[in-house]
Amino acid sequence: GQNIDQPTEMTATEGAIVQINCTYQTSGFNGLFWYQQHAGEAPTFLSYNVLDGLEEKGRFSSFLSRSKGYSYLLLKELQMKDSASYLCAVSSGGSYIPTFGRGTSLIVHP
């Protein structure tokens, strides 16, 4: 099975930078996803990391270290609309179907 761990809740100030960490334990790692989910809505895809390193996409960046079983999502220039749950998900074995962590609820305040 997979064990995915991320903080339950984080708060940050508008305009600031926040880093959401995710650690995982799995065998046959394929890749790691980050999704954003607003309350009562479906998740939307943010990133997919297969190789080690940092991938930047606008205000959002995602980092992966396969040897450490560790990833983070970095959000810059935070906006109020970034308040949401951020889900870390891992696919492994012969399947690309991700297994989701519990999500980190991010609250951005003025």
Partner 1 sequence: GAVVSQHPSWVICKSGTSVKIECRSLDFQATTMFWYRQFPKQSLMLMATSNEGSKATYEQGVEKDKFLINHASLTLSTLTVTSAHPEDSSFYICSAERLAVMSSYNEQFFGPGTRLTVL
Contact residues: partner 1, CB under 8 A? 30-31, 40-45, 48, 50, 87, 91, 96-103, 105
Closer residue to partner 1 in complex, CB, 32/75: 32
Q: Do 102 and 20 contact (CB within 8 A), yes or no? A: no
Name which of 39, 106, 33 is nearest 75 in CA terms: 106
Q: How far is the CB of 66 from partner 1 (least distance, A)?
A: 15
Q: How far is the CB of 33 from partner 1 (least distance, A)?
A: 9
Closer residue to partner 1 in complex, CB, 17/50: 50
User: What is the distance between the alpha carbons of residues 58 and 56, in angstroms, rounded to a whole number?
Assistant: 6
